[in-house]
Amino acid sequence: MITRIEHRGFTIDALKVTHATADQLHQHYAALVGEPFFPRIERFMTGGPMVAMIVSGFNVIEAVRKMTGATNPAEAAPGTIRGDFGREWADRTIRNVIHSSDSETSARREIPIWFPDRQYAPHQPEK
């Protein structure tokens, strides 16, 4: 996944291997906390290490979302990250292996959850 992102010309500004806490997940997925499937997401995401990244570059949000593919791996096109690596498990947990912010607003909210000392800085085209 990292190679795919870098080969598209994007820069990885921050990267860390971490273990998600319940508090981080409740902040990140605040809109989903009350959903019946949320406990499965929480178990999966707190069950082992994860890699958090901040990626930058021109039009990065739209381009990385396209590379990521549909949320449900069964609907994600081959060649997308979720299409190639995501799976749905017997417990109906969709393990789509990657999250990407859907907007600058989301990135501004999400980055401090995973990188408390960092803030979102939109890419500025070179002059």
Residue 105, classified by CB atoms within 10 Å of its CB into exposed (0-12), middle (13-18) or buried (19+), is exposed
Candidates 7, 26, 28, 99; catalytic one: 99
Active-site residue flag, 7: no
Identify the bridge partners of residue 16 per DSSP, sorted by sequence position: 52
Residues with a known catalytic role: 99
